[in-house]
Structure 1
Amino acid sequence: MEYAGRSLHYVMGERRRDGRPFTEAEARRVMKRLLGGVEIMHGHGVVHCDLKPANVLVGKEGGRGRGRVLKICDLGLAKSSTVPLPSPDTSRPVQGTLGYMAPEQLMGDMDGCSTPVDMWSLGCVMAELVSGKPIFKVEVSVCEHLAEIVRLLGVPDEASQMPLGVSASTPSQLRDAVPEEFLSMAGFDVLRGLLEFDPRERLTAAAALQMPWFTVEEDDDAPSPATARP
């Protein structure tokens, strides 16, 4: 296996410490690559189930001004979207990384890990890229993470999706967490579509890449995620 370099988690932490957060253009470039990779995986019936910055490797320059190559790694929890899952084991612990897990994973969805969970995880990665910090805490319990999600996104449309103990008047705070100084309205439309509570309404990778945010002509000489400075 070829050497792929450091993880995106490492690069993001390094830039955070150096006071060099990702610009919106850089975040768009990273997300375009990640969505393209996930679109291919999903097209082959593979669901990663644990997408996060630590599972993305930042490789060498891709040539022709394409910036650094990003490689999705660690498919230890990956599942097939085409093979029926066995009967769920309710005694089995939730698998994945809290902070990047979709609501349906946390609530023990009977369908198991399906393609929308990867899209939610990419939404978490996108928010972290543009804001400079994780949008959800990692070291919390499942219940605390669910409560965090509802506090940020507001109450789901269907009462059956709402975790117990959450006020029905909870409004969305997502724009406050990712203000316009970090992300334009076109970018926010992508983020909001990825962080849709209902997996049936969540953007697919193919649909996300068709959003106006990704139709912007990129400068081939724009700095790559690992090397850019303000």
Structure 2
Amino acid sequence: MFPIQSLGGPMMVLKAFTDSLWEARNTRPFTAKETKRIMKGVPLGIFTVHMKGLVYTDLKMENVALGGFDHSKPNENVRDLIVRLTDCGSISKPSTREISSLTDRSPEAHFRKAWTQSTDVWSWGIILAQLLQAQVDFKSPGMYDSICTGTLDEKTKAIRDKLAIDFDLVTVPFYAEDEQCAQLLPPAQPEEAYMRATSMVEKGVASEDSIQFLAGVLNPDPGARLTVREILEILESGYL
């Protein structure tokens, strides 16, 4: 430890957090109350960024710090859980550059279109879907985490193609009517479109109301996606 006097200049002392959301998620299943507490804490942080006209751009479980998490059993008082965003170095104004991890990346970013604050909403929805699924199938990977074959370029294409099929992007004008996107879109597979949502209901992962909420969050058209403010209002009303 260096004496404070020897450091000079302004200093910032940050509170230590014991876990990332990724580490906690792989420790044990969360209760519904824990999931809601955590998933409400994340958009509170995102909203602070959005209020400044900026985009967080790199929302993933590894970048969510979790304090007060009990590894051995569910937290009796979920208010003990403290949620904070970390790694704010990628915050930027809306742009077209490559952003986010492959598995949490929004479709507009995958297809090289301009992205705005709604890209953060997509990433939040991907995390929520994984936490809901983990409640009934703890060992289940995230929606696209199991795609790990080949080089980075091959994995990028594989995830982009699977996302396009899952959300039937060939029927979404935002992508289908864009010449550059149309060249990247894989052939339609309507029998596979939105099957993840059907599977989640069948397995008891989520109610139909929860699926409708997720559909608003994971709307492939960024202009039709819920905003962070709307998400917070819905969660405040007792949803989830």
TM-score bracket, shorter-length normalisation: 0.7 to 0.9
Shift of 1:168: 6.0
How do residues 174-213 of structure 1 correspond to structure 2 at under 5 angstroms?
174-179=196-201, 181-211=204-234
Q: Following the alignment from structure 1 to structure 2, what is the Cα–Cα distance between the partners of residues 193 and 157?
A: 15
Q: Are residues 1:31 and 2:39 paired? A: yes
Q: Following the alignment from structure 2 to structure 1, what is the Cα–Cα distance between the partners of residues 229 and 49?
A: 12
Q: Are residues 1:104 and 2:108 paired? A: yes
Q: Following the alignment from structure 2 to structure 1, what is the Cα–Cα distance between the partners of residues 116 and 133?
A: 27
Q: Which amino acid aligns with 2:218?
A: L
> Would you say how many aligned residue pairs link Structure 1 and Structure 2?
199
Shift of 1:101: 0.2
- What per-residue deviation string (whole Å, max 9, x for no partner) do you get for residues 54-83 of structure 1? 00000138xx862311010112221035xx
TM-score (norm 2): 0.73
The 3 A distance-change label for structure 1 pair 135 and 175 is same
TM-score (norm 1): 0.76
CA contact (8 A) 2:49 2:55 kept: yes
Query: Match of 1:57, SS?
Result: strand
Structure index of larger Rg: 2
- What per-residue deviation string (whole Å, max 9, x for no partner) do you get for residues 178-213 of structure 1? 2261222332222111111111111111111223x5
The 3 A distance-change label for structure 1 pair 79 and 197 is same
Q: Are residues 1:157 and 2:172 paired? A: yes
Q: Are residues 1:42 and 2:65 paired? A: no
Structure 1 segments, 4+ long, off by >4 Å, are none
CA contact (8 A) 1:153 1:173 kept: no
Equivalent residue for 1:2? 15
The 3 A distance-change label for structure 1 pair 65 and 28 is closer
Q: Which amino acid aligns with 1:188?
A: I
The 3 A distance-change label for structure 1 pair 151 and 165 is closer
Equivalent residue for 2:157? 143
Quick one: percent identity of the two aligned structures?
23
Q: Which amino acid aligns with 1:104?
A: E
Gaps of at least 5 residues in structure 1 are: 16-20, 219-230
Gaps of at least 5 residues in structure 2 are: 1-13, 70-76, 135-140, 150-154
CA contact (8 A) 1:154 1:173 kept: no
- Give the number of the structure whose residues are more often helix, by fraction: 2
Task: Decide which moves more: 144-153 or 198-207.
Answer: 144-153
How do residues 60-79 of structure 1 correspond to structure 2 at under 5 angstroms?
60=68, 66-79=79-92
Q: Following the alignment from structure 1 to structure 2, what is the Cα–Cα distance between the partners of residues 214 and 128?
A: 21
Q: Following the alignment from structure 2 to structure 1, what is the Cα–Cα distance between the partners of residues 57 and 129?
A: 18
The 3 A distance-change label for structure 1 pair 49 and 217 is closer
* CA-based RMSD: 2.5
